[in-house]
Amino acid sequence: VIVGGGIAGVSTAGSLRSGGFDGDLTLVDVGDFPYDRPPLSKDFLAGTKDIKQIALQPSQWYDDQRIRLVNRTAVTALRPREARVELADGTLLPADRVVLATGGRAARPPIPGIGSERVHVLRTAGDADRLRTALVPGAAVLVVGAGLIGAEVASTALQLGCEVTLVDPLAAPLEPVLGPELAGWLHDLHTGKGVTTVRAAVESFTDRGEHIEVRFRGRSGEWSYAVVVVGVGMVPQTALAEQAGLEVGRGIVVDSGQVTSNPAVLAVGDPARTRREARAEHWEAAQHDGARAAATLLGSDAPAPTAPWFWTDRHGRHVEAVGHMEWADRTVVRGSFDDPAFSVFGLRDGHVVAAAAVDDSTAVRAARRMIDRRVPADAGRLTDLSVNLRSLLRG
């Protein structure tokens, strides 16, 4: 039984079948059907894609793969000793192995007034539907948190004709993952496009019925908005794991094969983390977890590890990043910040350890291969636009 129909759960199910698993496979999810989350702050929020267009798989796929899909139902307890799981209506499902793919919920920090109906978060399609209804042209919108999701919501709200303010205490959010130059450039993009940026933390919200008043720490006065969106991260769904006595600490602790402290239970995606690493919280990492969990269950070789990768879109710019920018001791730029596309490579000891690019997926793909294969890198050739990056893969 797989608990949770996000990309991690669906990837586990698909990888089990493609790897030759022939047993019973049940996927339980609380939603109407498994859908993808990245569009919730992009096309789906903008209204250019509907819920059917963001389904992770067509319904026929589950039949073809002999995956029993149990929708609109939560798993409420794991009973690994009885080899069963319990559903919300009390049904017990046989489960020789359980894969926890429960994702997370949007964080709601303890700011006074955060319970107001005018304060939104964004994690589910329902959240996105409610938010879209509020994002009417001309509405004054405050987005709290300028990380990945906050920045995307600010961009989409602007596209929908709202007057957008983006508040974050950091000068260049995302600096650890993108490096200071690119993080600063991306944050400045907001102002260039017409978003008002404020560097502060939110102190309180006061719902005045027609609008909501917001106080920023260290600033006097109150600012008035029609809509607030809080995008300050996610909280992993670990309740089932805790209840079942599994090891949990900043996520469900797993080994390199996604196995939890109970050998009959695996965990994948946003809530899972190995003892040595933080939770990834990115789409591709969740997908890879599913493939690794399936390999563990099948006793087959796990897919080769690869450098972590994510993408984000804002103000019409496509951003990708790979590797660990925080490991770099210097960065070099290929192209110019004044004229995207461009890419930033993070180097250490003569090797690429990270890259981040605007509108340049090819550079990030090449960097990923260099990182994975530990190809020695020459800064001069990396930044020479006449050099084809693919030629550098030979070292």
Ligand X SMILES: Cc1cc2nc3c(=O)[nH]c(=O)nc-3n(C[C@H](O)[C@H](O)[C@H](O)COP(=O)(O)OP(=O)(O)OC[C@H]3O[C@@H](n4cnc5c(N)ncnc54)[C@H](O)[C@@H]3O)c2cc1C
User: Which residues are within 8 A (CB) of 255 and not within 5 positions of it... i.e. 6 or more apart?
Assistant: 274, 275
- C-beta closer to ligand X: residue 216 or 310: 310
The Cα 45–Cα 129 span in angstroms is 7
Looking at 111, 195, 240, 389, which residue binds ligand X (CB under 6 A)? 240
Query: Under a CB-based contact definition with an 8 Å cutoff, are residues 144 and 233 in contact?
Result: no
Does 6 bind ligand X (CB under 6 A)? Our answer is yes
- Kindly indicate which of the ranges 97-105, 255-263, 346-354, 383-391 contains the residues binding ligand X, using the contact rule CB under 6 A: 97-105
- C-beta closer to ligand X: residue 146 or 382: 146
- Kindly indicate which of the ranges 282-290, 300-308, 318-326, 377-385 contains the residues binding ligand X, using the contact rule CB under 6 A: 282-290
Distance in Å, CB of 280 to ligand X, minimum? 7
Distance in Å, CB of 127 to ligand X, minimum? 8
Looking at 62, 185, 225, 310, which residue binds ligand X (CB under 6 A)? 310
Does 103 bind ligand X (CB under 6 A)? Our answer is yes
Give me Rg for the CA atoms of the chain: 22
What are 376's strand-pairing partners? 351
- C-beta closer to ligand X: residue 12 or 65: 12
Does 86 bind ligand X (CB under 6 A)? Our answer is no
Q: For the window 191-220, what string marks contact with ligand X as x by the rule CB under 6 A?
A: ------------------------------
Q: How does DSSP assign 121-139, residue by residue?
A: --SSHHHHHHHHHH--TT-
The answer to whether the bond into 140 is cis (omega within 30° of 0) is no
> Residue 214, class by beta-carbon neighbours within 10 Å (0-12 exposed, 13-18 middle, 19+ buried)?
buried
The Cα 353–Cα 36 span in angstroms is 29
Site residues, ligand X (CB under 6 A): 3-9, 28-31, 37-38, 40-41, 74-75, 101-104, 122-123, 149, 237, 240, 269-270, 281-284, 286, 310-312
